């Protein structure tokens, strides 16, 4: 099986599923709808790929947005989408991670499932031209970073580059514990 390219008709069922799986977290599906509709209007098509189709030596990174969505809500979807056409911080920080790893990234996977965090990773994948893995790091949304199946399988969350709206980058190189 190969990657599945989304169509505009996939957006509503996807968001409904994300709302259920996100158990009320991971951001508003209305934001996800705005993000995906904007990407389609810009000619970007997100795609997903089943986990079993990922090569064992593929480079995969996980990401998402952190913090309160209050700032986004105050800005409004149109302003955020306009800003992301000039500076999509998640794309910048993913390129930072490529530099840390010293190799290209083959796939991305959402850190958590949810109405905002899954679509933002689908947008990242579309902007990078790579498929997003059909899954996430937890199986639901999470209030804290260390609440991930990655840690349970011995995968470190560091190095972890973080970026803010202004483009300031902080790289967490090591952590004494996953909290």
DSSP letter assigned to residue 116: T
Does the residue 130 lie in any domain?
yes
Higher pLDDT, 126 or 150: 126
- Structural domain contains residue 100: yes
Percent of the chain with pLDDT over 90: 56
Here the CATH number for the domain that contains residue 60 is 3.40.1610.10
93-143 tens-digit pLDDT: 999 999 999 999 999 999 888 899 899 999 999 999 999 999 888 777 776
What pLDDT shows up at residue 143? 67
Q: In what order do the strands lie in the sheet with 60-63?
A: 4-5, 47-49, 132-133, 107-110, 60-63
Q: Residue 169 above 80 pLDDT?
A: yes
> What pairs with residue 170 in β-bridges?
162
Is 112 part of a structural domain of the chain?
A: yes
CA distance 91 to 133: 17
Decide if pLDDT at 9 tops 60. yes
Dist. CA 161–CA 170, nearest whole Å: 6
Does residue 35 form part of some domain? yes
Domain membership of residue 38 as a residue range: 4-145
Q: Is residue 168 part of a domain?
A: no
- Judged against a pLDDT cut of 70, whether residue 1 lies above it is answered with no
Give how many domains the chain has, as a whole number: 1
Q: Is it the case that residue 179 has pLDDT exceeding 60?
A: no
- Sequence-distant (6+) residues with CB within 8 A of 55 are 106
Quote the CA–CA distance of 41 and 11 in Å, as a whole number.
13
What pTM was estimated for this model as a whole?
0.91
User: Helix, strand or coil for residue 162?
Assistant: strand
What pLDDT is attached to residue 131?
A: 97
The answer as to whether 53 is a domain residue is yes
């Amino acid at each position: 099986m190969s990657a599945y390219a989304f169509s505009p008709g996939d957006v509503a069922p996807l968001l409904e599923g994300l709302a259920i799986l996100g158990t009320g977290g991971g951001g508003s599906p209305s934001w996800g709808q705005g993000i995906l509709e904007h990407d389609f209007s810009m000619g970007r098509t997100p795609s997903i790929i089943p986990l079993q189709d990922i090569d064992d030596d593929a480079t995969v990174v996980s990401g998402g947005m952190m913090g309160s969505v209050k700032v986004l809500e105050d800005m409004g979807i149109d302003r955020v989408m306009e800003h992301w056409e000039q500076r999509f911080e998640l794309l910048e920080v993913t390129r930072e991670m490529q530099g840390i790893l010293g190799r290209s990234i083959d796939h991305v996977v959402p850190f958590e499932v949810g109405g905002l965090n899954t679509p933002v990773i689908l947008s990242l994948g579309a902007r990078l031209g790579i498929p997003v893995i059909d899954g996430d790091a937890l199986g639901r949304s999470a209030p804290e970073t260390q609440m991930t199946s990655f840690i349970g399988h011995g995968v470190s969350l560091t190095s972890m580059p973080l970026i803010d709206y202004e483009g300031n980058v902080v790289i967490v190189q090591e952590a004494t514990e996953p909290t």
